[in-house]
Copies of this chain bind each other. A is one copy, B any other.
Amino acid sequence: AVLRSIRHGVPFFSHSFCGAQARFTSSAYSELDNNARQGNRSGSVATPPSHLDSTKRIDVNPPKGTRDFPPEEMRLRSWLFQNFREVSQLFGFEEVDFPVLEAEALFIRKAGEEIRDQLYGFEDHGNRRVALRPELTPSLARLVMQKGKSLSLPLKWFAIGQCWRYERMTRGRRREHYQWNMDIIGVTDVTAEAELLSSIVTFFKRIGITESDVGFKISSRKVLQEVLRRFSIPDGLFGRVCVIIDKLGKISIDDIKSELRSAELSEEAVEDLLQILSLKSLNELEVKLGASAEALFELKQLFSLGEKYGYSDWIQFDASVVRGLAYYTGIVFEGFDREGKLRAICGGGRYDKLMSTFGGDDIPACGFGFGDAVIVELLKDKGLLPELRQQVENIVCSLDGNLRNAASSVAGRLRERGQSVDLVLENKPLKWVFKRAERVNAKRLIMVGSQEWEKGMVRVKNLGTGEQYDVALHDL
């Protein structure tokens, strides 16, 4: 039975059995580790043989596709989130959040989006269909509808939330990621999209990414709408066509064509569509659509605003960008790495009609989502990952078992003055304390020894300079 369970659990790697513990160690921000781990993970067979006799050892790994955040990974996540927050606030946005669990109906649209197939849905104990959210926008729309007239438009909201997708394929992708969203609700003008792009550029600059590393491809769904209208294709098909076109570059051109045909587009419409999608400049687009097209007007305005903001070098028109979500209606954009090695870094656009699909009154809106995974890959590739160490101001220890209580009161005193303290909680040799001080990156070591203590003093060692001196308690 043991052998069989191992066989079942580890079908591809015969070597993954001995020493598996070490290799299973997860790394929240390492895509490569996850890829490597893909084959030899299982929920049930991590029990090494040595434990079969005693209590069954649990699987010490997080569920497949999810991450732990031990301190070193958490520091990176906090640094990233802090930058998301600071940039959002620099732009006058307010933070919001929604439940990670929502009614499944909120996420189900009839456009064949990838997101629907990957919904992490289940039935709760009350027989309601619920799902771990795959994205934040529908919840935002729901909250805006709930608050209704009590809200003063425009809203500028941001959120940083965990999103879930149940990926059936083993592509080394995770089942959860954190996503930074910024949304502007109540502004019709393309000035809103320009602000959003400006905030992402600000974020990139702040973490050391330049326009030679990344760019934004920008288009408008109104370009497609124009083509569909010419061929009298019903508006109801619009979302579905966009979702198909988003697969450009992911599936073959022939498959795209046949999907478009099965969405009842004529051969001629398909060809015209694909030709338009290949355009890479607004001049070509103008030739194709005519100077009076609404799509063209908005795109020109956006590029002109980009100049004023100073991010012209970051943006380019690319008609092939449509994004994979059914609800976008106007400008769409995505951030990409110029080396072309990674998936889209972020993406967004205008979604003026989302609320009516929920039975509410439409409010103009646009926003973007920016995941926490691809950006970390990019920072790694560019050697831009920050070195983040723990930091405490003081490490406090007693030099004598009898003075442990005294050390506690010294720690309390320092903390009352806002100084962080790692207090040594057991009797340890000074050698151990120095090693610990190094690990926690303490600036000062404070030793409570009986000779000094009798005089109301403690010995302080500046761990940067090595300087050592005695200080009265009340001067600490």
Contacts and interface: CB of A to CB of B under 8 A. Distances in A.
A409 B307 CA distance: 9
B95 A74 contact: yes
Contacts of A202: 415
Contacts of A152: 436, 439
A55 interface: yes
Interface string A298-335: 00000011001110000000000000000000000000
A89 B425 contact: no
Given A99-B176, A142-B60, A439-B152, A404 B191 contact: yes
Interface residues of A, number: 111
Interface in A418-476: 418-423, 425-426, 436, 439-440
Contact of A425 (B71, B75, B128, B154): B154
Contacts of A150: 25
Interface in A102-118: 102-103, 105-106
A67 interface: yes
A420 B91 contact: yes
Contacts of A419: 90
Contact of A66 (B54, B95, B99): B99
Q: How many of these chains are in the complex?
A: 2
B55 A357 contact: yes
Interface string A356-380: 1111100000000000000000000
A162 interface: yes
Interface stretch (A119-127, A229-237, A257-265, A342-350): A119-127
Contacts of A63: 99, 101-103, 124, 128, 130
Nearest to A409: B308
A295 interface: no
A74 B93 CA distance: 12
Interface stretch (A182-190, A219-227, A240-248, A273-281): A182-190
Nearest to A394: B92
Contact of A359 (B55, B123, B408, B439): B55
A128 B122 CA distance: 12
Q: Is the interface of A mostly helix, strand, loop or mixed?
A: mixed
A62 interface: yes
A58 B358 CA distance: 5
- Of listed A47, A392, A425, A439, residue having the most chain B CB within 10 A: A425
A168 interface: yes
A146 B25 contact: yes
A36 to B, nearest CB: 16
A124 B119 CA distance: 11
A383 interface: no
Interface stretch (A1-9, A192-200, A283-291): A192-200
Contacts of A164: 101
23 contacts: A25-B146, A26-B146, A43-B128, A55-B358, A58-B358, A59-B103, A60-B146, A63-B103, A68-B98, A68-B143, A69-B98, A71-B96, A74-B94, A89-B420, A91-B423, A92-B440, A94-B390, A187-B425, A189-B426, A191-B408, A191-B425, A202-B415, A308-B406
Interface of A: 21, 24-26, 43, 47, 51, 54-64, 66-71, 74-75, 77-78, 89-92, 94-103, 105-106, 120, 122-126, 128, 130, 132, 139, 142-143, 145-148, 150, 152, 154, 156-157, 162, 164, 166, 168, 176, 184, 187-189, 191-192, 194-195, 198, 202, 304-305, 308-310, 356-360, 390, 392, 395, 404-406, 408-409, 412, 415, 418-423, 425-426, 436, 439-440
